[in-house]
């Protein structure tokens, strides 16, 4: 189960337009996740007396912290010039740290962020839902940015955004920004699922897929990180029913989603492993023979030669595994891509599934297995049973339990591919979020297969 760090210390490089006001801090803030911007905004705004926004992570420890705890440094933009503060000379180090960078997210720049906020404000005005007060920054990192707008009124069952973000009480709307180069067009995915079950998805107030912007109505309730048995029943069968319907009428296949069907996924896995082989051949490990297997010295983002050999052997067995999975009789369909309980939200009467940035066209067992990492054994046993019963109902003669059992190594390899996509599209300062993730998922894939399968 996921454990959350309780706090972190932060330093802040402060700018206002072209002016630089130095490195502030360190401050200790609540919420240890580096992407959690709200406590940083609150602390720095109190210190300066002006509203601020976090543009991006400028420096983080590369010690395997994986996105939480420790001391991190942000680039923060003051939305008003801080009174009583004098600009400082920018050193070459700071200029390089805060200057333009390849693959920087649009919402991680002052101009891009202001444009996104202006778009959201205009969209709310056109919807008859004008914003009240300043938007509240909740989260920012290489995968998305998240702001909450208070509005004069709300409509529908609402739309929170997910990714582990709780909403609190009251109405409002959420602006989510993502990089369209490697994320799904969430507005289109939500519309597709909503055409089958309108109550399953958030309400979209505005969508700008070209720029990766989405405006959603607020979803009341809480994220179901620890779902009850009743909440599992309120979520899992409804997603299965929608997936089955979209597979049956062919719309999932025709929706233009990223292809993550099993044969395509195998091709991506092979490409990733070929890449690792090439990288390790040109960058030998720290062992005296270049093998990288000296005890205690193996980098976390690098496979040993033995692990790489085992991974290649596992990849050679994947076509046979795909045949077995296909024989289980589950159809390719729209997959959520990150179907864990933190992306389920409920107010006790209505459950909604949120956060569709990872959605694709693929095998539903990839969604079915996802909750296991987030719940205890008892709840996972229930989730697996509910998921399998739902699929047997919609695909008579299928073998969903067998599919869940078979898909595990490919599930982890699929996430290795996805994490590598993240790394290929984010700037250097953001890499500590995901640096070790592809290799970690490959290791998980190796751990869940028998030695005979890995070594054949």
CA 455, CA 192: separation in Å to the nearest integer?
42
* pLDDT tens, position by position, 339-356: 999 999 999 999 999 999
Count H helices and E strands in the chain, helices first: 12, 15
* pLDDT tens, position by position, 148-166: 999 986 554 444 444 333 3
Checking if the pLDDT of 367 tops 90, the result is yes
CB atoms within 10 A of CB 93: 8
* CATH 3.90.79.10 domain extents, the chain: 7-99
Q: At what angle do helices 305-326 and 400-425 cross, to 10 degrees?
A: 130
* CATH 3.90.1200 domain extents, the chain: 259-455
Checking if the pLDDT of 443 tops 60, the result is yes
- Average pLDDT of the chain is 90
Q: What is the pLDDT averaged over residues 200-218? A: 96
**Res 77: pLDDT:** 97
* CATH 3.30.200.20 domain extents, the chain: 108-220
Checking if the pLDDT of 3 tops 60, the result is no
**Res 293: pLDDT:** 44
Q: What is the pLDDT averaged over residues 387-412? A: 98
| Domain 7-99 homologous superfamily, CATH | Nucleoside Triphosphate Pyrophosphohydrolase (3.90.79.10)
CA angle in degrees (0–180, nearest 5) for 38-116-109: 70
CATH of domain 259-455: 3.90.1200
Q: What is the pLDDT averaged over residues 211-225? A: 96
CATH architecture of 108-220: 2-Layer Sandwich (3.30)
**Res 277: pLDDT:** 94
**Res 285: pLDDT:** 57
Q: What is the pLDDT averaged over residues 317-339? A: 98
CA 212, CA 192: separation in Å to the nearest integer?
18
**Res 163: pLDDT:** 39
Q: What is the pLDDT averaged over residues 37-48? A: 95
Q: pLDDT band for position 299 (50/70/90)?
A: low
**Res 432: pLDDT:** 87
* pLDDT tens, position by position, 250-289: 999 999 999 999 999 999 999 999 999 998 888 765 444 4
**Res 451: pLDDT:** 54
């Amino acid at each position: 189960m996921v454990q959350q760090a309780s706090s972190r210390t932060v330093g802040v490089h402060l700018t206002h337009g072209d002016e630089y006001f130095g490195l502030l801090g360190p401050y200790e803030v609540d919420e240890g996740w580096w992407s959690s911007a709200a406590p940083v905004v609150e602390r720095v705004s109190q210190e300066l007396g002006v509203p601020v926004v976090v543009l991006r992570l400028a420096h983080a420890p590369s010690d395997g912290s994986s996105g939480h705890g420790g001391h991190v440094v942000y680039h923060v933009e003051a939305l008003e010039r801080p009174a009583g503060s004098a600009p400082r000379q920018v050193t070459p180090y700071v200029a390089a740290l805060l200057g333009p960078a390849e693959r920087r997210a649009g919402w991680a720049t002052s101009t891009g962020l202001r444009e996104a906020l202006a778009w959201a404000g205009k969209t709310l005005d056109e919807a008859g839902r004008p914003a009240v007060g300043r938007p509240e920054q909740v989260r920012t990192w290489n995968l998305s940015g998240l702001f909450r707008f208070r509005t004069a009124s709300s409509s529908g069952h609402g739309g929170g955004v997910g990714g582990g973000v709780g909403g609190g009480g009251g109405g409002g709307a959420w602006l989510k920004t993502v990089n369209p180069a490697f994320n799904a067009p969430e507005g289109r995915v939500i519309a597709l699922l909503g055409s089958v079950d309108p109550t399953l998805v958030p309400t979209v107030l505005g969508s700008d897929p070209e720029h990766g912007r989405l405006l959603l109505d607020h979803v009341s309730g809480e994220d179901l990180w620890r779902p009850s048995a009743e909440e599992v029943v309120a979520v899992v069968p409804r997603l299965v029913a929608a997936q089955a319907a979209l597979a049956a009428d062919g719309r999932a296949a025709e929706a233009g989603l990223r292809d993550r069907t099993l044969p395509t996924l195998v091709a991506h896995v092979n490409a990733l492993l070929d890449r690792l082989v090439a990288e390790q051949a040109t960058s030998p490990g720290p062992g005296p023979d270049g093998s990288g297997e000296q005890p205690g010295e193996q980098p976390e983002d690098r496979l040993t030669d033995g692990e790489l050999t085992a991974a290649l052997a596992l990849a050679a067995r994947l076509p046979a595994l795909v045949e077995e999975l296909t024989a289980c009789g589950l159809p390719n369909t729209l997959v959520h891509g990150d179907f864990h309980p933190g992306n389920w939200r409920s107010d006790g009467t209505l459950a909604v599934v949120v956060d569709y940035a990872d959605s694709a066209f693929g095998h539903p067992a990839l969604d079915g297995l996802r909750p296991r990492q987030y719940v205890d054994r008892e709840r996972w046993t229930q989730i697996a049973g509910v998921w399998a019963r739902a699929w047997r109902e919609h695909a008579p003669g299928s073998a969903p339990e067998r599919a869940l059992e078979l898909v595990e190594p490919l599930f982890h390899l699929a996430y290795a591919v996805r994490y590598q996509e993240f790394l290929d599209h984010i700037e250097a300062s953001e890499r500590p979020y995901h640096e070790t993730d592809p290799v970690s998922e490959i290791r998980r894939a190796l751990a869940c297969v028998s030695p005979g399968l890995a070594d054949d």
